[in-house]
């Protein structure tokens, strides 16, 4: 019967929705788009958004929307930090809070950073200083790298300006020394000229008899 066909079709659509219809995917001519990722919250939100007697059918070109649960941003290691262990602190809580998931890889990171300092990082006591990898997102790492680049450029510019000031100062001193040398040479020339003139003026006159004898 026609009623049974409609009920069967509605059940198929509802099953597709609850199984995880892809979020934000524009439906093609087939009329449905199956899940692209798992997650109970995703299924529930899509199912709640879609299922009603009026929404049992989906049409080509219809866009199905539901918010995806937030995902943890991928992080990278950048330096290290130190943490003073407090009462009740556990390695698992610390790793999850400061490093990431409580995995063997992250535990080994902490273990390597504290090698020779803490015998067993899984046995912690209040007052201990635990070294942890400093984890930041890639966006934060890129921002820090850009800030470091800009700071380096500012330092280069400041150094270039300092050198330019030193060069101008050296040129001024060189020019001053050149002028002083020229002044000294002119004074020496005038002094020599004066001495020569004085020597000529004080030379004894030659008598006619002496001149004839010559």
pLDDT per residue as tens digits for the range 108-143: 889 888 988 888 888 888 998 998 888 766 666 667
Percent with pLDDT over 90 in the chain: 14
Q: What distance in Å separates the CA atoms of residue 145 and residue 136, rounded to the nearest whole number?
A: 12
Query: Is the torsion defined by CA of 116, 118, 119, 122 positive or negative?
Result: negative
Which band of pLDDT confidence, cut at 50, 70 and 90, is reported for residue 30?
very low
pLDDT for 2-24, tens place per residue?
555 556 666 655 555 455 444 44
Q: Is 27 exposed, middle or buried (0-12, 13-18, 19+ CB in 10 A)?
A: middle
CB-based contact 77:135 (threshold 8 Å): yes
Could you give the C-alpha distances from 30 to 27, 33, 59, 140, in angstroms and in order?
A: 7, 8, 9, 43
Most confident of 51-55, 132-136, 201-205, 207-211: 132-136
Domains of the chain: 75-137 (3.10.350)
Distance from the first to the final alpha carbon of the chain: 162
Tell me the three state secondary structure of residue 170.
helix
Res 15: pLDDT: 55
Lowest-confidence segment of 34-43, 74-83, 204-213 by average pLDDT: 34-43
Please provide the average confidence, as pLDDT, over all residues in the chain.
71
Per-residue confidence (pLDDT) for residue 84, from 0 to 100: 92
Query: Could you give the CA distance from residue 17 to residue 11 in angstroms, rounded to a whole number?
Result: 10
Answer yes or no: are the C-beta atoms of 109 and 99 closer than 8 Å: yes
pTM of the model: 0.34
DSSP for 35-86, written as a single string: -SS--HHHHHHHHHHH-SGGGSS--TT-B---PPPP-PPPEEEEEEEEEE--
What's 27's DSSP letter?
P
């Amino acid at each position: 019967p026609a009623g049974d066909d409609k009920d069967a079709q509605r059940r198929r659509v509802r099953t597709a929705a609850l199984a995880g219809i892809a979020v934000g995917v524009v439906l093609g001519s087939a009329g449905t788009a199956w899940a692209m990722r798992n997650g109970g919250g995703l299924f529930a939100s899509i199912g709640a958004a879609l299922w009603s007697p009026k929404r049992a059918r989906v049409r080509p070109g219809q866009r199905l929307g539901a918010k995806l649960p937030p995902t943890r941003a991928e992080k990278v290691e950048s330096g290290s930090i130190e943490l003073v262990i407090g009462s009740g602190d556990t390695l698992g809580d610390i790793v999850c809070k400061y490093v990431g998931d409580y995995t063997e890889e992250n535990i080994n990171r902490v273990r390597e950073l504290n090698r020779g300092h803490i015998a067993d990082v899984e046995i912690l006591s209040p007052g201990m200083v635990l070294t942890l990898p400093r984890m930041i997102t890639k966006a934060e790492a890129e921002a820090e790298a850009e800030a470091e680049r800009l700071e380096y450029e500012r330092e280069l510019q400041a150094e270039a300006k300092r050198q330019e000031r030193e060069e101008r100062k050296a040129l001024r001193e060189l020019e001053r020394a050149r002028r002083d040398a020229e002044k000294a040479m002119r004074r020496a020339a005038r002094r020599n000229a004066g001495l020569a003139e004085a020597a000529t003026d004080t030379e004894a006159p030659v008598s006619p008899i002496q001149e004839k004898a010559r």
